[in-house]
Amino acid sequence: MRLLIVEDQRKIAGFLKRGLEEEHYAVDIADTGEDALALIDVTPYDLVILDLMLPGMSGLDVCQRLRARGETIPVLMLTAKHRVEDRVMGLDLGADDYLTKPFAFPELLARVRSALRRHAQTKTVTLQVGDLVLNTATHEVTRAGRSIDLVSKEYAVLEYLMRRAGQVVTRTMILEGVWNYDFDPGSNVVDVYIRYLRRKLDDPYPEKLIETIRGTGYRLRASRVP
């Protein structure tokens, strides 16, 4: 799952990004409301963590604009303001939850999971390609009923591929979908993680799911199961 952090304090944004990536989420950062809206225009985020106090366009303005144009993406609002009136205003403008600073990271994680679960009724929770199954709520992965342990980036790459089962995806698409937009496009990191996935998902089984499309990228060969 891909999250967007909208936070102008780099130290806080970096802390949140590192912690969320350790929990298998792909994470982007925007430090202004304008940049956040531009990223949301081109990227299908699963949740936005939105600071209330931003330079220029406030978090309240960002949330209001998202809802005005029909975006249903969950929004978890962060703020140093503790007044009940501020929390009520944020919720009335479309925020799904509200967390005041300073906060404990485990609580933020719990609120992220809760918001994603509530939103899951409109999204697929279980992805299946052949006998490969991925649960986006629990991050459990199995093949032929056998549990497979994946590290954070392995999981993120696999989820990206499974959501596009049967489609050819380029290395650049995977880089932009799993890593930061400023990641070196000449890096071979995608190929490295595909090799890791093949060792765990394909090598022990007669049917190989990950197909290389020479000069282009990769594809999961089996049809997705509804």
Q: What is the pLDDT of residues 57-66, one digit of tens each?
A: 999 899 989 8
The larger pLDDT score, comparing residue 181 to residue 221, is at: 221
Q: What is the pLDDT of residues 108-162, one digit of tens each?
A: 999 998 888 877 655 557 889 989 999 887 889 999 999 999 988 899 899 999 9
pLDDT of residue 185: 61
- Cα 211 to chain center, whole Å? 24
Give the distance between the most distant pair of CA atoms in the chain: 60
* b/e code 150-185 from CB counts within 10 Å (16+ = b): bebbbbbbbbbbbbbbeeebebebbbbbbbeeeeee
User: Mean pLDDT, the chain, as a whole number?
Assistant: 86
SS3 176: helix
Q: Name the amino acid, one letter, at 200.
A: K
| Cβ(49)–Cβ(24) below 8 Å | no
SS3 89: helix
Strand order in the sheet with 141-143: 126-129, 132-135, 141-143, 146-147
pLDDT of residue 226: 45
